[in-house]
Structure 1
Amino acid sequence: MLLEFIRGNTAPAPVPFVPEITLFQADEPIALWEKTEELGAEQPPPFWAFAWAGGQALARHVIDHPDLVSGRSVLDLATGSGLVAVAAAVAGARPVTANDIDPYSLAATTANAIANDVEVRTLEADILDTDDEYGVVLAGDVFYSREMAARVLPFLRRAAGRGSLVLVGDPGRAYLPDSGLIERAVHDIPVPVSLESVPTRRTKVWQLVNR
């Protein structure tokens, strides 16, 4: 049922800044938003139907620098569409785990992994209070709210403290931390004007360290 909803309300298309990857994406965000609201008041917005700037930058970085993830275990935190997880798998990461609390997100991730002929594990859970070990932790566009940042940042810093490579893609969201970040790349990312109010977002890839 979930896969049918994803495939019935989105269409496969290349990601603007990562054309090597095809995602099931929505053409009209408002209409899809309304459809997901009909599924129930508790249903999160369909973040999984769009290639957000932070995820695009992070996916581009991973594909351009496969040595960062190749042969290593990878966690894509708050995966959304699964774009970053798919990019990690394309770059040779093994195994790749895509995590989210939204089952529709993980269904989209499965559809997108199949579309790109890669293997991605899905994990539906709130893992932010856990300490599982991964070689690399990737987080695209996770600092969009105060509440989310307050929970994500300690998780990421703990992962960095255990020796994980932690990379964050962020287009200047309000709650990006102001310390413990090392800039790794800068890109101007094409984004849907209907979502971001601008055609591009200056987006950075950061390495987060435990300090």
Structure 2
Amino acid sequence: MTVPAGFFARHTRLVRTPLVPEVALHLADDVAALWQAMEDDEGTPGAGDASPFWAAAWVGGQGLARYVLDTPDLVAGRTVLDLGAGSGLVAVAASLAGAERVLASDVDPYALAVIPLNAAANGARGIEPVGDVLDADLPEVEVVLAGDVFYDLRMADRVRPWLFTAWVRGAVVLVGDPGRSQLPEGLREVAGYQVPDSGVDVARRTTVWRLP
């Protein structure tokens, strides 16, 4: 399916995320209303099958992006894969930190359409949106960044062996996650952050994990 021209201008606005204010993203103030727009307003076949995960800055992705910007040597001059890219926050952070090439992988056509817009809004270069890589041959990458990919059991079962294979083949593998029950064993914590929650006086902790 093709995302209608002007969709993001009508239904999102550029927002700077709490933990990564260097990056501005096209996000939705009301995700429920955005979902309705995807189903009805645009009249696009297949739009109702997509979940607008890309329209919010998930805390795991924010933590991972923060870590990448704070430790640029991790990605500088390298080929990077952002797995489950969503808005492209982590991909943008990797580009700004000096990555030579960034593959931003997602299954959602809306995510793949908004990633170039978010890259352009931040002057991020070398970002290439790509579809689902979990059932394909492992791309030639040196670093794999996976933010919030363990959000349910089905996704976790697909991602877990794929990340392990990437690590066995020599890639640095980092995961950003607030501690979901589906996280695999054997991960090593490398950083932790408190992410302010917009609109309320609380913060959520998220962690950056490394395999192994």
TM-aligned CA deviation for residue 2 of structure 1: 4.2
Structure 1 residue ranges (4+ consecutive) displaced by more than 6 angstroms after TM superposition:
none
* Counterpart code for 2:64: L
Pick the aligned partner of 1:161 from 168, 173, 180. Answer: 168
- RMSD over equivalenced CA pairs, Å: 1.8
Identity %: 50
Pick the aligned partner of 2:93 from 74, 87, 92. Answer: 87
Contact persistence 2:134–2:158 (CA under 8 A): no
1:135-159 superposed Cα distances (whole Å, 9 cap, x missing partner) = 1000000001100000001110000
- Structure 2 SS opposite 1:18: coil
Contact persistence 1:143–1:173 (CA under 8 A): yes
Pick the aligned partner of 1:18 from 17, 20, 24. Answer: 20
> 1:34 corresponds to which residue?
36
TM-aligned CA deviation for residue 41 of structure 1: 6.4
Whole-angstrom distance in 1 between the partners of 2:5 and 2:189: 37
> 1:203 corresponds to which residue?
206
- Structure 2 SS opposite 1:30: helix
Whole-angstrom distance in 1 between the partners of 2:157 and 2:113: 27
Q: Map 1:37-52 onto structure 2 (within 5 A).
A: 37-38=39-40, 39=44, 40=46, 43-52=49-58
- The 3 A distance-change label for structure 1 pair 198 and 130 is farther
* Counterpart code for 1:16: P
TM-score of the pair, normalised by structure 2: 0.90
Whole-angstrom distance in 2 between the partners of 1:145 and 1:32: 22
TM-aligned CA deviation for residue 29 of structure 1: 1.7
TM-score of the pair, normalised by structure 1: 0.91
Contact persistence 1:3–1:108 (CA under 8 A): no
Whole-angstrom distance in 1 between the partners of 2:54 and 2:135: 19
Contact persistence 1:3–1:107 (CA under 8 A): no
Q: Gaps spanning 5+ residues in structure 1: where?
A: none
Whole-angstrom distance in 2 between the partners of 1:153 and 1:90: 28
